[in-house]
Amino acid sequence: MTDSPLIASLRAALAARPDDVVLRLHLAQLLLDAGCGPEAVAQIGQVLAGDPGNAAAVELMQRALDPLAPYERELTDVVPPRFAADDRPAPVEGAADRIYDVETPAVRLADVGGMTDVKKRLELAFLGPLRNPELRRLYGKSLRGGLLLYGPPGCGKTFLARAVAGELGAKFLSLSIVDVLDMWIGNSERNLHELFEAARRSAPCVLFLDEIDALGHKRAQLTSSAMRTLSNQLLAELDGVDGNNDGVFVLAATNTPWDVDAALRRPGRLDRVALVLPPDGPARESILRYHLRDRPIANIDLSRLIPDTTDFSGADLAHLCETAAEYAMADAIERGEVRMIEQRDFDRALKEIRPSTGPWFAIARNVALFANEGGTYDDLATYLKSRKFL
């Protein structure tokens, strides 16, 4: 059917009249009927590029992007948005992996308050392609590369990485500088390689590189040849030189992205960047409710607390609830009478606690003003302007 005289004639006619939308859509429909999905998508895409609201083109595109093979359609209908159980590799039980804390998180992205933009970036980079393998093949989407999360401390970067692993139904392995460094020459590089190997054997696995600025600091600023060699080893592991990184999803976090070596952010490594900001109003309310859920509370007006906790990180909000509970408990001990945690306890706590993100924003302001080469920190600058920090 793909070499039918009708399709060949339509192709020739379209070459002579490339602006004929009706002719192009008719050709696309015939290509879909013939099973030529990729070519049909290309034809429909040209129509939508000139007329995004074309109803016929939109309908055809939806049909084209439907799973193309019957068995794939059945699999998509049955498997939830995570890896199918039968596709997961058997648990790694080798003695070499027992020293690493490879876990299976139970949290999901729905458990993460706020972070709408970051979740959209994760959906675009990892989750969407994984849930739709047939579309990933159609568009030639690669799963290589990683995502660098940056922002003030205590805003939930580590929790978010665990939630991504939970969303994928994947293993989770956290790597920090203390897991790697060794006093003997060559051992640090070997430790780093073994950690990556453990992640590869546990695939699908989310490998979380915490405080990546310590492990991948700018090499031009390093005075230690051992640390420079370790940074080179990290680059080699991210490239998968000694092993295949398919199924290993690299997430990294840092409070100081301006100290991270530029080579780490080359395409194929940590080529995507997402800013993790302090929670917004609805997210702060959600976090406060979470930390108060098992505590005795009465007459607390969360709507009063939300405007008073602007720029509070998730850790700051947890500390606020802990401090309010301390005041209520101290009062109960002094009076010899148990009472509930009340609004007055939070009022006292707010006089004592200040957002810990302030010093970070002071540094970030200078970076956004004077070190925003190539627009790397445009999202940060936009946020600082919205908060009138710039």
**CATH number for the domain harbouring residue 32:** 1.20.58
175 and 109 share one domain: yes
Could you give the CA distance from residue 159 to residue 105 in angstroms, rounded to a whole number? 10
Which pLDDT belongs to residue 134? 82
3-state helix, strand, coil in the chain (%, to 5): 60, 10, 35
Count of structural domains, the chain: 3
Query: What does DSSP assign to residue 279?
Result: P
Convert the pLDDT of each residue in 307-365 to its tens digit. Answer: 999 999 999 999 999 999 999 999 999 999 889 999 999 999 999 999 999 999 999 99
Structural domain containing residue 299: 281-352
Whether residue 372 lies inside any domain: the answer is no
234 and 326 share one domain: no
Tell me the whole-structure pTM to 2 decimals.
0.73
Contacts of 39 (CB under 8 A, 6+ apart): 31
42 and 111 share one domain: no
Give yes or no for a contact between 124 and 280, defined as CB atoms under 8 angstroms apart. Answer: no
Task: Examine residue 129 and say whether the peptide bond preceding it is cis (omega within 30 degrees of 0).
Answer: no
Q: Which of 58-67, 100-109, 291-300, 369-378 has the lowest mean pLDDT?
A: 58-67
Convert the pLDDT of each residue in 7-61 to its tens digit. Answer: 888 888 888 888 888 888 888 888 888 878 778 777 887 777 677 778 888 788 7
109 and 250 share one domain: yes
Neighbours of 325 (CB within 10 A): 19
β-strands 171-175, 146-150 pairing: unpaired
Whether residue 381 lies inside any domain: the answer is no
Neighbours of 260 (CB within 10 A): 22
165 and 44 share one domain: no
Give the three-state DSSP class for 127: helix
CA angle 40, 20, 52 (to 5 degrees): 65
Give yes or no for a contact between 348 and 326, defined as CB atoms under 8 angstroms apart. Answer: no
Whether residue 44 lies inside any domain: the answer is yes
* Residue 329, token pair as written in the block: 């408990």
